[in-house]
Amino acid sequence: MISVKYSYLSGRNKSLAPEKSYRDALAAIKDSGILSSSEAMNKINKLSEYYDQNRASLPPGSKRTRLMEELSSMLWSLMPSVKNFPLRERLNSWRSDDRLSAYKYLEYKPGMDNLDLLISSAIGVLEEPFGQYAALLALRRLVINVKTGTLEKELITRNLTWIARLEFMGSDREYLMNSIVSLLEKREKNN
């Protein structure tokens, strides 16, 4: 079973619709145990729907961000059960919930095959802020766990350094970009 903190939902001025949606999301994965791949994908699809519902129904702010972070964590926790995840399809989807599930899959199972799409999402020009952050988390996991060649290191470093200097994003994403570049630089010095 997956345990999730939800004490922040008990405060004053809570919106009933997002709280109900959050409870529904928890119920969707409660007592998941060992899941078949199709059961896990069904739960991923349901959680993705909740992500889009909460994104549309809550105003930007800390409560919406916390809900989206919890849903994102739940998505990630289901990935070990999934076989044949439709990665390319979801990375290229117009739906932010599909892309989020793809980023969570890549965070769970990093690989160089989709580096181009991951970098384009991580720089965030055409991505929602939360999606950009999720793409950056997946990119950081890739940098930590997958051996990158000189060309890949240069591509990642050049793109993240460039976009971080434009100063159009939140400090959380800028910090993550700089930390990824720092990881690559440290790895270069150690080789």
The mean pLDDT value for 120-136 works out to 85
Last residue of a domain, one of 68, 83, 98: 83
Q: Looking at the domain assignment, is residue 120 inside a domain? A: yes
Domain count, the chain: 2
Query: Two tokens at 127?
Result: 């991505």
Do 122 and 191 fall into the same domain? yes
Rounded alpha-carbon distances, angstroms, from residue 35 to 29, 40, 73, 106: 10, 6, 17, 20
Q: Looking at the domain assignment, is residue 5 inside a domain? A: no
Do 76 and 134 fall into the same domain? no
Do 60 and 132 fall into the same domain? no
Last residue of a domain, one of 64, 83, 102: 83
Rounded to the nearest 10 degrees, what angle do helices 96-108 and 115-122 cross at? 120
CA–CA separation, 30 and 32 (whole Å): 5
- 84 pLDDT band, cuts 50/70/90, is very high
Q: Looking at the domain assignment, is residue 124 inside a domain? A: yes
User: What is the per-residue pLDDT for 13?
Assistant: 36
Do 118 and 182 fall into the same domain? yes
CA atoms within 13 A on the CB side of 21: 23
- 143 pLDDT band, cuts 50/70/90, is very high
Do 77 and 152 fall into the same domain? no
Q: Looking at the domain assignment, is residue 98 inside a domain? A: no
Q: Looking at the domain assignment, is residue 9 inside a domain? A: no
The pTM assigned to this predicted structure is 0.79
pLDDT in tens, 109-119: 998 998 988 89
Do 72 and 121 fall into the same domain? no
Do 78 and 126 fall into the same domain? no
Do 74 and 126 fall into the same domain? no
User: What is the per-residue pLDDT for 32?
Assistant: 53
Q: Looking at the domain assignment, is residue 68 inside a domain? A: yes
User: What is the per-residue pLDDT for 14?
Assistant: 38
The CA-CA-CA angle for residues 60, 42, 70, to 5°, reads 30
CA–CA separation, 158 and 160 (whole Å): 6
Do 174 and 126 fall into the same domain? yes
CA–CA separation, 11 and 17 (whole Å): 14
Looking at per-residue pLDDT, the higher value among 105 and 172 belongs to 105
Do 137 and 72 fall into the same domain? no
Do 137 and 175 fall into the same domain? yes
Query: Two tokens at 159?
Result: 């793109």
User: What is the per-residue pLDDT for 171?
Assistant: 81
pLDDT in tens, 28-69: 555 556 789 999 999 999 999 888 888 888 898 888 888 888
Do 117 and 76 fall into the same domain? no
Last residue of a domain, one of 65, 83, 101: 83
User: What is the per-residue pLDDT for 128?
Assistant: 84
Mean residue pLDDT of the chain comes to 80
Q: Which of 62, 54, 58, 63 is nearest to 22 (CA)?
A: 54
Q: Looking at the domain assignment, is residue 104 inside a domain? A: no
Residues 6 or more apart whose CB falls under 8 angstroms from that of 48 comprise 75, 97, 98, 100, 101
Q: Looking at the domain assignment, is residue 115 inside a domain? A: yes
Print the domain residue range for 37. 17-83
- Asked whether the beta carbons of 113 and 144 are under 8 A apart, the reply is no
Q: What is the DSSP string of 98-147?
A: HHHHHHHHHHHS--GGGHHHHHHHHT-TTS-HHHHHHHHHHHHHHHHHS-
- 189 pLDDT band, cuts 50/70/90, is confident
